[in-house]
Amino acid sequence: MAFWSDKTWNDLDVTTSPVRPFKKKRIDDSNYLLSIGEEIYVSSPDSKNNVKKLSDNESFSIDPGQFAFLLTEEEIIIPFDKIGFISIRASVKFNGLVNISGFHVDPGYKGKLIFAVFNAGPIRIHLRRGEDIFPLWIADLDRPSTRTEYKKGHYNIPSKLINQISGDFTTAYQLSEQIKSARKDIDELKSFNFYSKIIIGLLLLVLSPYIKSTIDKTLRTPEAAQVQTKDGAN
Ligand SMILES: O=c1ccn([C@H]2C[C@H](O)[C@@H](COP(=O)(O)OP(=O)(O)OP(=O)(O)O)O2)c(=O)[nH]1
């Protein structure tokens, strides 16, 4: 098995290339850099689980703990005697974006690719349509695959894929955000409790002479005196 060199990639033309559309400037050493296409899905507990259509160069972001499906711009047509290998550029991976879907493209595959990715890093990752972040390597097989028909690939992100993973989920990041917010509520309650004790204490201090005189007056009323006399007679 030999991997295609940049010379082999460069000798291809738009009609023989396994990548369509084919732009030679996307050849990067011995791989071809595929780009983010027009459909994406980014998970979110409050999202409507809809695939988002991107216009040219439109940007989007994936927060820490978010999961996403990204469809490539390019259609891939792998000959029966070749196999493809796919990944994400290291510079993007260093920010924490990991590819959690497969890493090969079958001989005879025809269609776009869907990357399932996860932001495992601590920062929001900004991406845009047309960004070339998916390297594709092609290798020759020692013999052609036994397959005789092309394998129908993806041309969009199927709603079935999204329905399978949708629902009320909580990532570690969202959990940490919820803990932060609960902590803030507790701190607010604690300071409310502290200040209400001080206010009640001050009120008692200010009102205590008045309360004392009211009690004294009540005890000195004729009814109170009568009660006291009766008590004395008994
Ligand atoms: O991240 C990936 C990995 C693969 N593929 C495409 C190319 C590959 O040829 C096809 C099928 O992949 P794989 O054989 O790994 O998946 P499977 O679950 O075994 O599907 P199938 O039963 O269609 O072979 O899906 C993607 O779009 N994204």
DSSP 184-233: HHHHHHHHHHHHHHHHHHHHHHHHHHHHHHHHHHHHHSHHHHHHHHHHHH
What is the distance in A from the centroid of ligand 1 to the CA of 105? Answer: 6
CATH, domain range 6-168: 2.70.40.10
pLDDT 10s digits, 89-118 = 999 999 999 999 889 999 999 999 999 999
User: What stretch of H or E contains 151?
Assistant: strand 151-152
* Average of per-residue pLDDT across 149-176: 82
d(CA 106, CA 193): 65
- Which pair of tokens denotes residue 9? 């990639």
pLDDT one-digit tens code per residue, 167-181: 666 666 677 778 999
Task: Give yes or no for residue 80 having a pLDDT over 70.
Answer: yes
Rounded distance, CA 43 to CA 118, Å? 10
Mean pLDDT, rounded, of the chain: 90
Least confident of 14-18, 80-84, 222-226: 222-226
Residue 2 pLDDT exceeds 80: yes
Pocket, ligand 1, Cβ cutoff 6 A: 101-102, 105-106, 109, 113-115, 154
> Does the predicted model carry a pTM greater than 0.80?
no
Please give the share of the chain, as a percent, with pLDDT higher than 90: 70
Q: Measured in angstroms, how far is the CA atom of residue 220 from the centroid of ligand 1?
A: 95
DSSP state of 25: G
**From the CA of 17, how far away is ligand 1's center (Å)?**
20
Q: How many degrees, rounded to 5, is the angle at CA 110 between CA 144 and CA 89?
A: 95
- Ligand 1 atom closest to Cα of residue 78: 9
Supply the pLDDT for residue 162: 86
* Ligand 1 atom closest to Cα of residue 114: 27
| Domain regions of the chain by residue span | 6-168, 173-233
pLDDT of residue 72: 98
- Residue 232: pLDDT band (50, 70, 90) is low
Ligand 1 centroid–CA 149 distance in Å is 16
Nearest to 20 by CA among 56, 80, 74, 73: 74
